[in-house]
Structure 1
Amino acid sequence: MRQLRPRMAALLLAGLLPLLVGSAAGCGSGGDDVPPAAVEAPLPEAPATSDEPSPTTQAPAAVDVCALVTKKEAEELAGTKLDDAVPVRESCTYTAPASGPTAQVEVFVGDGAKKYLDIERELGHELRPLAGVGDETYVSFEAAFVNRSGLWVAVRLVRLNDPEENREPLERIAGTVAGRI
């Protein structure tokens, strides 16, 4: 648990609080369960810049985030049935029903996806480059990061399993996402 605290703090600072709070809903804390769609914290305002996209990201307005990973693909990745997608801003989350095993698939597009990758690097987490997929792709034990034409997409997998089991499925979903960007 101690290793997770710096990581959770970093994710919170990255403006991913709504997704983390949604992930925790129904985790048996004994408190009121709040569905992920009902929890939304304001994101920090971006500094004033020109209207041009940065060189590392594009505006994700033209991308249907939930179409990048379908419910069926999310269920295959998670190894269990999942609820319908919950889109929030530039993200999409599929969660397992409270009666099922713990599982969640999150998809982030644009600056949030790139920031997630940057945090993984800062924390020293192992990121393997995946050649031939998109312009730049990395896979860890819990996520895939794909850059194609300057647009970053991250797919995060939450499961209670041996993390090594997740690499190959994450590599496959990275290829699928790269083909849809």
Structure 2
Amino acid sequence: MTRRPTPGRHRLARLTLLCLLALAVAGAGTGCGGGPAPSSGLPTGPPGDSGLLSEEQPSTGQTSPSAAAAAVINPCDLVSQPEAEQLAGTPLNEGRQVKATCTYNSPPSGPTAQVEVFVGPGAKKILDINRELGHEFHELPGVGDEAYAEDNNVYVNKSGQWVSIRLVLLNDPAENRQALEDLARVVADRL
């Protein structure tokens, strides 16, 4: 007799797989409980920095068009701790930035919850991989230049800058859909 996995186990296995894929693709983040990921070469700054970080030309001190295009936005500036807590419906620890990712985790004594914000080309790569895996997406019209949502994930592109927001909760993803879409609109306005 073949034992069918329970819906909770299936969701947990899927979340684990997505987390591992995100780390493998992005090369940044601590969302799976590991330590800091290897350096991806992206510029970074301290949490709470002014937000836009760019690489300058050494000879002139001016930001070149190619450096401006490669600029990275501080992910902890895109989603605040109160916004992450509202999305998760529970208190979360202060955001921890590692490279282009900001992660808000629940305290060990609280319910399991995590909000992860990823900025840059890796966010688009995660979307592409999830498409290849056959995940179901729906478009979010009027959000940035383009935006898509799937269970507990949203992806926003504005002016070539990609952002993904991932929510880890042990509930029915349909319960989180509207809050994720609302936060995607807020983040698109900040880009």
**Partner Cα separation in structure 2 for residue 152 and residue 120 of structure 1:** 15
Instruction: Give the drift of 1:97.
Output: 0.2
| Alignment map for 1:153-168 (pairs within 5 Å) | 153-168=163-178
Q: Report the aligned-residue RMSD.
A: 2.5
1:42 aligned to 2:52?
Answer: no
> What is the letter of the counterpart of residue 112 of structure 2?
T
- Structure 2 runs not aligned, ≥5 long: 1-8, 43-64
Q: 2:66 aligns with which of 41, 49, 52?
A: 52
Instruction: Give the drift of 1:90.
Output: 0.7
**Partner Cα separation in structure 1 for residue 163 and residue 19 of structure 2:** 20
Count how many residue pairs are aligned between Structure 1 and Structure 2. 158
Instruction: Give the drift of 1:40.
Output: 1.6
**Partner Cα separation in structure 1 for residue 126 and residue 138 of structure 2:** 15
**Partner Cα separation in structure 2 for residue 177 and residue 99 of structure 1:** 29
**Partner Cα separation in structure 2 for residue 138 and residue 83 of structure 1:** 27
TM (norm. structure 2) is 0.74
Instruction: Give the drift of 1:155.
Output: 0.5
| Alignment map for 1:132-171 (pairs within 5 Å) | 132-171=142-181
2:55 corresponding residue in structure 1: none
Instruction: Give the drift of 1:64.
Output: 2.2
**Partner Cα separation in structure 2 for residue 133 and residue 42 of structure 1:** 32
1:11 corresponding residue in structure 2: 22
Higher relative CO (Cα under 8 Å, sequence separation at least 6) belongs to 1
> What is the letter of the counterpart of residue 107 of structure 2?
P
**Partner Cα separation in structure 2 for residue 73 and residue 8 of structure 1:** 21
Residue identity over aligned pairs, in percent, reads 47
- Structure 1 runs not aligned, ≥5 long: 26-35
TM (norm. structure 1) is 0.77
